[in-house]
Structure 1
Amino acid sequence: MTVAGTLTTLLEAAGLRAVLRSAQPGLWTETGLLLPYLPVSFSAAMIDYQLAYWSGNGVPIEDLSLILLHDNRPCGLWPLSVSRLAEGPFLGASGLMLSPPLFVAHLAARSVKTLSAQCLEVAMQLAKALQIVSWQSGESFIGQTGLSEWHDRALRHGASVSLQHELYADLTPDLATIKSTFRKSFKALVTSGTKHWQVALLEGEGKEVWEEYRLLHLAVSGRVTRSLESWEMQYRAILDGDAFLAYLRDDAGKMVGGGLFHVTRDEGLYAIGAYDRDLFDKPLGHVVQYRAIEAMKQRGVRWYKLGLRCYPADDPAPADKDLAIADFKQGFASHLFPRYVIQHRIS
């Protein structure tokens, strides 16, 4: 039996009604707009990019993401995937750590409890069917306080939890107030860099600009890091309004840096960055971050997710480069939120 067939059987056994995102992609997008908070990781654009990224890197992956139903109406979204790694099957979400389901606004608490229990049971049974003895799910900030029903129920079933940290910037204040929260040294660098570089956004058609950025990324990386299809997915996200590129040019018109940012109605995410290595002592990234924050603010985005904040004592210990990147990001953050990593084990 295929993995999709196994999933169908498990859904029926758990009494959970759902349809695959791949069968009704439009319904996935429509349901996402009904969530109180729509993370970038739940957006179709990000899911499609991640699928292209993994498959382009030679990792077979099957998208099993589900639109959950209650009383014959969409009530939630649950990104779900199975990847085939060298060490065996990997249960996750778009090839990354599994996320708990998110539910539409005003769904009754009793229904949330029932649906969460059913989703957890399906995940556990799917892992068992794939002979996965241990898997993880992660819970990040979604615009509200408190932990999910999934979190509580998983721990009551014997799961353990560890803590990570993520950086966010609150974009609800006015721009001047947001800028006042930046690290003191960054404010001056943003001001001087804005005068020094030509700052621009790619928010629609501009394939030649996107190709220029891809080649800059290649030059900085020194090697091909992913498939052309994954780059095409990101360009498509720009065309569809789900991402934008903030980039810089020098006085000669040469592109010297830029960052791609994915966005939903509620959240922005710093996806990738590439900067001329010969100009690392110049305020490149600072200007890109500020221009991106301006763009998100103009779109009405509520929170900007800068990413993981690693620390020296983390396990596994982060590389010095990762610590430096995290420290840079923190200069723009207003909040440090916990990210809970739940370790599930199949007995």
Structure 2
Amino acid sequence: MEVLYKQQDKQKYFKHYMSFLEKKQLPLSYHPYIIKYFHLIAKPIEDKSFVVIENQQCVGICYCPIYEINGKKHISNNGGYTPIPIGENERITKHLFNLLDEIAIQTSCSSIRLYVDSQYSTQFINQRMMSDTENMLLLKKYGYIDTSSINTIADLTLPQEEMRKRLRKSYKPLINSYMKKSCYSIHKITQSNPNKDIHDQYVHFHHLCSGRKTRSDESFEIQYQMLLDGFATLFGLCYNKDFIGFCYFFHHFHYVTYHSGADDPKYEGSKIPIYHLILWNAFCDFHKMGYVSCNMSQPSNFSVLQGFGDYSDEKQINIASFKRGVGGGLLLLFEGLNILIKNA
């Protein structure tokens, strides 16, 4: 059994890593595009990611970024949680977790913070990868404290009428009434009809909504490159032929992730249900294309504190409520914390 670290031979590493990703059809949280995106937001001080090779085949992967926070090192996503190592079988998985522990000790890390991607642990019967019990036991088995929270996932396998029933009661007539008006239209930008000007308008709205530039130009460039490569779709709402709002989605294999939304602030207070219209139309479109689920991500909280250290302010709680209103269902987000006492 060979362990190949990314820093040893990047080309060989990515060859094996991508072959495993394709074979297992893992969610976007494992894709190099997403990893690169997060590294642009906050670059780790070290990247100890590795693959395990047996009989010339990749049998396991482990994404292992190390961040320094308040003078302490952590294997984490900038203080948050990073996806669990994935092995071909239980023997390989055990080896991956053991290697992860060794890396943490060698690099004087205070903790390892892992989560099970909600779409990898999906509760949809025909696509089930791991059961809830398996998720919980996997992290506890290797010494992790259960710090699980909740996540919001839209089930795209349901018939469209059933999806409609999951809309909040007040949202159904709202969406219907506006979609009947000829002055509103939904536009879909994909790999087959890319438009940099429209993408740039989304970026402009993003800056306007935030009141400032919140992330690097490179992060937006990655989004557009993902669109060009078929991993992203941009939906926009037009009012009288002018765009007034956008939603960016990432997708791979069976899975969709709602990544980002932005709208023209001058329509704030207009009562136009910008995101209701875009998300509902996007869900219907992804449903027709055969996608299984849409991860609506954080925030998903009902209250200020949900689970272990998962804080939300009033704005985030309202966003979480909106996500549930447009058809997002709640799933457990399995998270685990391994504290290395000697380094804590």
Give the TM-score normalised by structure 1. Answer: 0.83
Asked whether the equivalents of residues 154 and 296 of structure 2 are also in contact (C-alpha less than 8 Å), the reply is: yes
Cα RMSD after superposing both structures: 2.5
Find the partner of 1:254 among 230, 242, 256: 242
Report the equivalent of 1:283: 273
Q: 1:61 to 1:292 in 2, by over 3 A?
A: farther
Aligned counterparts of 1:71 and 1:184: Cα–Cα separation in 2: 56
Alignment of 1:238 with 2:224, yes or no, is no
Alignment of 1:136 with 2:151, yes or no, is no
Aligned counterparts of 1:168 and 1:215: Cα–Cα separation in 2: 28
Alignment of 1:214 with 2:203, yes or no, is yes
Aligned counterparts of 2:160 and 2:196: Cα–Cα separation in 1: 30
Cα drift, residue 326 of structure 1: 0.3
Q: Which amino acid aligns with 1:49?
A: Y
Q: 1:33 aligns to what SS in structure 2?
A: helix
Q: Which moved more, 1:118-127 or 1:306-315?
A: 306-315
Q: Which amino acid aligns with 2:131?
A: G
* 1:260-299 to 2 correspondences below 5 Å: 260-280=248-268, 281-299=271-289
Aligned counterparts of 2:319 and 2:186: Cα–Cα separation in 1: 22
Q: 1:17 aligns to what SS in structure 2?
A: strand
Q: 2:319 aligns to what SS in structure 1?
A: helix
Structure 2: state its 5+ residue gaps. 123-127
Q: 2:197 aligns to what SS in structure 1?
A: helix
Asked whether the equivalents of residues 41 and 216 of structure 2 are also in contact (C-alpha less than 8 Å), the reply is: yes
Q: 2:23 aligns to what SS in structure 1?
A: coil
What's the CA shift string for 1:226-280, capped at 9, x where partnerless?
11111111100000010111111221x3321111111111111111111223434
Find the partner of 1:165 among 147, 150, 156: 150
Q: 1:46 to 1:85 in 2, by over 3 A?
A: same
Q: Which moved more, 1:280-289 or 1:151-160?
A: 151-160
Asked whether the equivalents of residues 60 and 96 of structure 2 are also in contact (C-alpha less than 8 Å), the reply is: no
Q: 1:265 to 1:211 in 2, by over 3 A?
A: same
Asked whether the equivalents of residues 265 and 300 of structure 1 are also in contact (C-alpha less than 8 Å), the reply is: no
Aligned counterparts of 2:77 and 2:10: Cα–Cα separation in 1: 14
Q: 2:38 aligns to what SS in structure 1?
A: helix
Report the equivalent of 1:341: 335
Identity among equivalent pairs (%): 20
Report the equivalent of 2:125: none
Cα drift, residue 175 of structure 1: 2.4
Q: Which amino acid aligns with 2:3?
A: R
* 1:116-127 to 2 correspondences below 5 Å: 116-127=93-104
Aligned counterparts of 1:136 and 1:217: Cα–Cα separation in 2: 30
Aligned counterparts of 2:234 and 2:79: Cα–Cα separation in 1: 24
Asked whether the equivalents of residues 139 and 146 of structure 2 are also in contact (C-alpha less than 8 Å), the reply is: no
Cα drift, residue 153 of structure 1: 5.5
* Number of residue pairs matched by the alignment: 320
Q: 1:93 to 1:72 in 2, by over 3 A?
A: farther
Q: 1:225 aligns to what SS in structure 2?
A: coil
* 1:135-214 to 2 correspondences below 5 Å: 135-141=112-118, 142=120, 143=122, 144=128, 145-147=130-132, 152=137, 154-194=139-179, 195=181, 196-204=183-191, 205-214=194-203
Q: 2:167 aligns to what SS in structure 1?
A: coil
Q: Which amino acid aligns with 1:80?
A: C
Q: 2:11 aligns to what SS in structure 1?
A: coil
Asked whether the equivalents of residues 85 and 97 of structure 2 are also in contact (C-alpha less than 8 Å), the reply is: no
Alignment of 1:318 with 2:312, yes or no, is yes
Cα drift, residue 95 of structure 1: 7.5
Aligned counterparts of 1:265 and 1:149: Cα–Cα separation in 2: 23
Q: Which amino acid aligns with 2:255?
A: E
Cα drift, residue 149 of structure 1: 6.7
Report the equivalent of 1:17: 3
Q: 1:163 to 1:153 in 2, by over 3 A?
A: closer
Q: Which amino acid aligns with 1:292?
A: A
Aligned counterparts of 1:159 and 1:31: Cα–Cα separation in 2: 25
Alignment of 1:90 with 2:79, yes or no, is no
Report the equivalent of 1:72: 56
Aligned counterparts of 1:261 and 1:278: Cα–Cα separation in 2: 24
Asked whether the equivalents of residues 117 and 150 of structure 1 are also in contact (C-alpha less than 8 Å), the reply is: no
Asked whether the equivalents of residues 82 and 95 of structure 1 are also in contact (C-alpha less than 8 Å), the reply is: no
Q: 2:258 aligns to what SS in structure 1?
A: strand
Find the partner of 1:302 among 286, 292, 309: 292
Asked whether the equivalents of residues 113 and 149 of structure 1 are also in contact (C-alpha less than 8 Å), the reply is: no
